[in-house]
Amino acid sequence: MALGILAIGGYLPKARLQRTDIANANAWFNPALKGLAKGERTMANWDEDTVTMAVEAGRDCLTGIDRNIVAGIYMASTSFPFQDRQNAGIVADALNLSTRIQTLDISSSQRAGSSALLTALQSVHSAEGPILVSASEKRRTRAASPLELTTGDGAAAVLVGEGEPVARYIGGHTEAVDFVDHFRGEGEAFDYSWEERWVRDEGYMKIAPNAINNLLDKVGVSAQDIDRFCFPVAMRRAASGLARKIGIAENAVADNLQSNCGETGSAHSLVLLVHALEQAKPGEKILVAGFGQGCDVLLFEATEAIKTAGDRLAISGHLANGRPENRYTRYLSFNNLLTMERGIRAEVDKQTGLSTLYRNKGMSQKLLGGQCSECGTCQFPKSKICVNPDCGAIDSQADEPFADKAAKLNSYTADRLTYSPDPPTYFGMVQFAGGGRMMSDLTDIDPDIELEVGISMRMVFRVKDYDMLRGFRRYFWKATPQNDTH
Amino acid sequence: MASGIKDKVAILGMGCSKFGERWNDNAEDLMVEAYAEALEDSGIETSQIEAAWLGTAIEEQHVGKSGIPLAMALRLPYIPVTRVENFCASGTEAFRGAVYAVASGACDIALALGVEKLKDTGYGGLPQRGRGSVNDLFWANASAPGSFAQLATAYSAKHKIPAEDLKRAMAHVSVKSHDNGSRNPKAHLRNKIDEDKVMNAPMIAEPLGLFDCCGVSDGAACAIVTRPDIARGLGKKDLVTVKALQLAVSNGTESQHNSWDGSYFATTRKAAERSYQEAGITKPRDQISMFEVHDCFSITEVITMEDLYISSEGAAVKDIMDGFYDADGKVPCQIDGGLKCFGHPIGASGLRMIYEMYLQMNGRAGERQREQDPVLGMTHNLGGYPHQNVSSITIVGKEGA
């Protein structure tokens, strides 16, 4: 029995916005952006937020693991969809976890992700089982800002606990320093940032070495012994400069994923950690930091179990699963940076009855249907009377989870009449293996690939409707072509 | 075994407003326009009407709830007035209420009126509204064309009919309706089109283009019904009587049970089987003189002709391309222009279809009158989505047929 990371998972949205398209569109305003115009950044779909991305990372992390053992979810983000409604609780519901768990949102700093991981490692011994730590970010940035180019949307998750870890926890340390390199005040949508050179020289290069050296001293590991060093900031050469200063080998510096993902804010330390663990060999030491008003550092050692840790999409699988996106105005529109003419059809009131939602959240948030104990028929949604025309038993159905069932597409269309933030609206009849079906919204449809009757589909948790009048959003499950995601 | 409705009730009078974009008329004006024609045709007074049914589907958009709007518009003398709603079958439901009332002997003369005033939304197409608080949590973000479009993908896959051939047959359906509508002074759309125009039109919901979709219209239609003996007593001859009235409603099998393949209307098949039995029809393809079916979308008409057992399964494309359903074909379908061109004021549509049958059987259909005397006519409405719908069928015909 050892304390550490039991499983890893990740999620990156499929669309990869090409930085040249951002820079070209804004060149008239800020030609200097061309210096950042290389590679691509992840771009969340209109129906994705930090909750939905955390759900996907959580599903990936819990692949092959009995969800009933999970005793807690700590969710880190600085871009939670809800200020007062626990976001981790929505993730727990979508993952169909038990209600006997601890749920916690951790926020307000770019090191929220590393702090959540550290807190989980420090507290899991007193929990009734492992804790799922999920970090997810979808930061809003101003058009033509450097952050628009250097950030990306994404999530990562690790299951922390005692058992046979893929990476044993050696130790951790935090230096808390109210160094304000940027901030986002109450009610503000965007970050306000100070000069990069000051952030580098007085922040990264002074606070981080202090934290790292303190940790290495504490655990008696020398800098040369570090095999992988994850320093989750976008700035070019920041991590390598730090490594040089501390004495970490240059080839130990982990790719910060600037070229193909972007910096995913408070999720980025976990994104880099998961990415490093996917590649790590047994015995390797992995040092991960989180920077923001101080610095968290954590040290892990990969075990024999690391060999099978990457049998899932994690970060590498999602990096490989991208689709180039050249439509910059689509990005602007999805992030409410462009006032689109949505038409009168978009004015339909999307109020959600909170009592209606609570009563039906097994169906809508967990995607629970029913299975008839008389005839075995599975159906969605569950109902009092079995849908099988040859059965009709009453009150015979037990909860049946549909979220992870294999499914096929029976019929579909691309609807240009109904309002959607991303027309056309794709939807179709999705039929589940073992019974049950639903007329389902489809999402992440590649406009260049024709849908076909009979293709395999997978269900994903997404935003169904935004209630602009009240600041609420309701979630539900949608189908997406399986070959594109797994 | 119930004896059914056959020949128990006759149509005493009918009326129909002009359908279209009636920018300067309220729903009440349209109701009175249809009613005035029906009343004159029937030869009775308002005071002789003993009960009335109002069919309207999207009442929030115009008259609001209850039977009161009909009673007030027509100044009905404190009689029972009931508002019914069953999606696009609402007009037929109003008719069913009035016919059943007369057949039961509860009253001698009853009225059915359907109305819809849709052109007050500020945009084209049907009004976009919530679908119920629980349904909104999980129903797909579906429009009507998007839902019906899926019939095409499922039908093509099942019968191995190339999408291009199906689209061509769908185009023929719309061209035919435009031809027919051009000869109908009350129709919303009276322009002729050709197949290329349909094939090349902007896409609404793949594979349905603009001309595969019916119009959204304002309009009203009205029927006054009574027993055949009373009609004769009032001096009516060559009566048109009701032969069958059937309705089938989805119970969730199509939407939740894997037994339905998405390529046909389970409801329409049931309603058709019961209708033929009620009317004593054994060979519908030979016996029915004409059809008005619910051509909300061209693909709906294609598939409905199979579900009504007129074209055999998978063979509607051939019948359509052979001109079987053309105005001068063996059995015309939508000789008045159909929903596609006469228009589709939802609550009025079922009664509009019966109105056309009634005119044709009385030889009063003007320029579009069938040369061959129609004997039996079948109307069909479909409301909702292919996977979850109501399907209504009415057969009317000459008394004794």
pLDDT along chain A (486 residues), means of 10: 97 98 98 97 98 98 97 98 98 97 98 98 97 97 97 98 98 98 96 96 98 98 98 96 98 98 98 98 98 98 96 96 96 97 94 97 98 98 97 97 97 93 96 96 92 95 97 98 63
**In 3D, which of B252, B121, B58, B130 has the Cα closest to residue A474?**
B130
Of all residues in chain B, the one with the smallest CA distance to A379 is B256
ipTM of this complex prediction, to 2 decimal places:
0.93
Q: What is the pLDDT of residues B339-361, one digit of tens each?
A: 999 999 999 999 999 999 999 99
User: To probe the interface with B, which of A345, A361, A429 has the most B CB atoms within 10 Å?
Assistant: A429
The answer as to whether A343 is a domain residue is: no
A320 to chain B nearest CA, in Å? 30
* A-chain residues near B157 (CB < 8 A): 411, 453-454
SS3 category, A325: strand
Structural Rg of chain B based on CA atoms: 20
Q: Are residues A66 and A17 in the same domain?
A: yes
* A-chain residues near B58 (CB < 8 A): none
Q: Are residues A373 and A318 in the same domain?
A: no
Closest CB to A410: pick one of B125, B140, B262.
Answer: B262
Other Cβ atoms closer than 10 A to B85: 18
Element (H, E) at A323: strand A323-325
- What is the per-residue pLDDT for A484? 47
Closest CB to B146: pick one of A377, A425, A474.
Answer: A425
Q: How far apart are CA A220 and CA A208, in angstroms?
A: 18
Q: What is the pLDDT of residues B261-307, one digit of tens each?
A: 999 999 999 999 999 999 999 999 999 999 999 999 999 999 999 99
- What is the per-residue pLDDT for A486? 40
The answer as to whether A235 is a domain residue is: yes
User: To probe the interface with A, which of B136, B159, B250 has the most A CB atoms within 10 Å?
Assistant: B136
Beta bridge partners of A123: none
The answer as to whether A118 is a domain residue is: yes
- What is the per-residue pLDDT for A345? 93
Q: How far apart are CA B53 and CA A295, in angstroms?
A: 75
CATH code at A61? 3.40.47.10
Amino acid at A6: L
Q: Are residues A457 and A443 in the same domain?
A: yes
- What is the per-residue pLDDT for A485? 41
Q: Are residues A29 and A131 in the same domain?
A: yes
Choice among B88, B213, B333, B341 that is catalytic: B88
Handedness of CA A245, A249, A250, A256 (dihedral sign): negative
Cβ–Cβ under 8 Å, residues B43 and B281: no
The answer as to whether A342 is a domain residue is: no
Contact A476 B137 (CB under 8 A): yes
Contact A425 B150 (CB under 8 A): no
**In 3D, which of A165, A236, A167 has the Cα closest to residue A197?**
A236
Calculate ∠ Cα A84-A80-A470, nearest 5°.
Answer: 55
Tokens encoding B71: 């009673």
Element (H, E) at B278: helix B266-279
Q: How far apart are CA B236 and CA A452, in angstroms?
A: 58
CATH code at A356? 2.40.50
- What is the per-residue pLDDT for A225? 98
**In 3D, which of A476, A400, A486 has the Cα closest to residue A441?**
A476
The answer as to whether A341 is a domain residue is: no
Cis peptide leading into residue A381 (ω within 30°): yes
- Kindly report each contact of residues A250-256 with a partner whose C-beta sits within 8 Å and lies 24 or more positions away, as own/partner: A252/A226, A252/A227, A252/A228, A253/A229, A254/A228, A254/A229, A254/A230, A256/A231, A256/A232
Q: Are residues A261 and A353 in the same domain?
A: no
Q: How far apart are CA B333 and CA B305, in angstroms?
A: 9
Contact B206 A413 (CB under 8 A): yes
The answer as to whether A410 is a domain residue is: yes
b/e A433-458 (16+ beta carbons within 10 angstroms → b): eebbbbbbbbbbbeeeeebebebebb
B372 touches chain A (CB under 8 A): no
The answer as to whether A111 is a domain residue is: yes
Domain count, chain A: 3
Q: In chain B, which among 237-296 make CB contacts under 8 A with chain A?
A: 252-253, 255-259, 261-262
SS3 category, B247: strand
Q: How far apart are CA A20 and CA A189, in angstroms?
A: 25
Q: Are residues A415 and A284 in the same domain?
A: no
Calculate ∠ Cα A428-A433-A438, nearest 5°.
Answer: 30
Closest CB to A435: pick one of B130, B146, B258.
Answer: B258
Beta bridge partners of B89: none
Amino acid at A420: S
Closest CB to A417: pick one of B125, B130, B140.
Answer: B125
Closest CB to A417: pick one of B143, B261, B262.
Answer: B143
Residue with tokens 């603009």, as numbered in its chain? B210
B88 in catalytic set: yes
- What is the per-residue pLDDT for A450? 85
Closest CB to A429: pick one of B150, B205, B208.
Answer: B150
Cis peptide leading into residue A424 (ω within 30°): yes
Q: How far apart are CA A229 and CA A285, in angstroms?
A: 9
Which domains are delineated in chain B?
Answer: 10-120+218-233 (3.40.47.10), 143-214+239-398 (3.40.47.10)
Q: How far apart are CA B13 and CA B235, in angstroms?
A: 12
User: To probe the interface with A, which of B61, B126, B138, B263 has the most A CB atoms within 10 Å?
Assistant: B138
**Parts of chain B with a pLDDT under 70:** 1
Q: Are residues A312 and A355 in the same domain?
A: no
Q: Are residues A33 and A107 in the same domain?
A: yes
B285 to chain A nearest CA, in Å? 30
User: To probe the interface with B, which of A349, A408, A410, A415 has the most B CB atoms within 10 Å?
Assistant: A415
- Give every CB contact of residue A184 below 8 A, 6+ residues apart in sequence: A78, A190, A191, A192
B188 in catalytic set: no
Q: Are residues A293 and A220 in the same domain?
A: yes
- What is the per-residue pLDDT for B292? 98
Domain that residue A353 falls in: 348-367+402-484
* A-chain residues near B149 (CB < 8 A): 413, 415
What are the Cα distances from residue B5, in Å, to B242, B282, B394? 7, 17, 11
Q: How far apart are CA B118 and CA B349, in angstroms?
A: 13
The answer as to whether A298 is a domain residue is: yes
Within its chain, how far is the Cα of A55 from the centroid?
7
Q: Are residues A22 and A70 in the same domain?
A: yes
A39: phi then psi, degrees, rounded to nearest 5: 75, -155
Q: How far apart are CA B381 and CA B346, in angstroms?
A: 10
A362 to chain B nearest CA, in Å? 11
- A-B contacts (CB, under 8 Å): 140
Cβ–Cβ under 8 Å, residues B198 and B213: no
Claim: this prediction has a pTM higher than 0.90: yes
Q: Are residues A112 and A139 in the same domain?
A: yes
Q: Are residues A207 and A287 in the same domain?
A: yes
B187 to chain A nearest CA, in Å? 24
